[in-house]
Each structure stands twice: as C-alpha cells, then as structure tokens.
C-alpha cells in the first residue's frame, strides 16, 4: 500500500507555545490530527546533560506537506533548535489514511 501519510514529531515545554503551533497547523490544514503526550526528555545540550518535562506532539499529515509543517513549527517554536522529525506511514487503515488526505487537501490554498 502506497500512502502520502506521515507523522511529524516535535516537542515543546510551554503550553502557550505548543497551542500556538498546534492551532496554526490545524487552521492552515497542514495537519488532520495532532496528539500531545506528557514526556520526560533526557538530552545533552551545549555540553550539559539535561532533563526536562516536555510534551511530545504527534502530527498526522501528508509527506507532501512536510516542508510547510517544518517551516510553520520552526517559525513559531520557542526552542533554538526544535525537534522536527518526519516518520513515514508505510501502511494503515485505508479509511483513516483517506481522512488524513482529505483534511489536509486544501492546505496549499489556505496560505
């Protein structure tokens, strides 16, 4: 099964910043669904090991929209170097994948 669907991951610490990113992606129809999960992130940054409470964001969208999703996140994100990673969807329930495609279909016309 070939699909244009993908999941984009990002994280945020501040709820207001996260909500701004989420609202913009949905308003511009760059995402069909966005889920937010509380996580604890451990990472090395500028030579120091850090541990922070963050929110992991799962963005369901189309691969063809990735560059617009990335630019939207990068422009609004509070982090100096935000995580923005695209994961391909190799297969899935056809009705759900079609729903993603339909919900994101007018994204290019909104901007």
User: What digits encode the pLDDT tens for the residues 1-58?
Assistant: 668 999 999 999 999 999 999 999 999 999 999 999 999 999 999 999 999 999 999 9
CB distance 86 to 23 below 8 Å: no
- With tokens 């099964």, the residue in question is 1
User: What digits encode the pLDDT tens for the residues 81-95?
Assistant: 999 999 999 999 999
Asked if the 5-110 domain carries CATH number 3.40.50.1000, the reply is no
User: What digits encode the pLDDT tens for the residues 51-67?
Assistant: 999 999 999 999 999 99
H helix intervals, 1-111:
15-27, 66-76, 94-103, 107-110
Map residue 93 onto helix, strand or coil.
Answer: coil
pTM to 2 decimal places: 0.92
Q: What residue spans define the domains of the chain?
A: 5-110
Q: Which residues contact 51 (CB under 8 A, 6 or more apart)?
A: 40, 41, 42
């Amino acid at each position: 099964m070939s699909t244009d669907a993908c999941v984009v991951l990002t994280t945020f610490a501040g709820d207001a910043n996260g909500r701004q990113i989420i609202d913009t992606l949905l308003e511009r129809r760059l995402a069909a669904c966005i889920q937010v999960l509380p996580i604890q992130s451990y990472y090395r940054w500028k030579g120091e090991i850090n541990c922070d409470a963050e929110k992991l964001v799962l963005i369901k969208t189309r691969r063809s929209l990735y560059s617009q999703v990335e630019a939207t996140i990068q422009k609004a994100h509070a982090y100096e170097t935000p995580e923005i990673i695209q994961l391909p969807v190799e297969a899935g329930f056809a009705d759900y994948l079609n729903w993603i495609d339909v919900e994101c279909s007018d994204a290019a016309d909104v901007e």
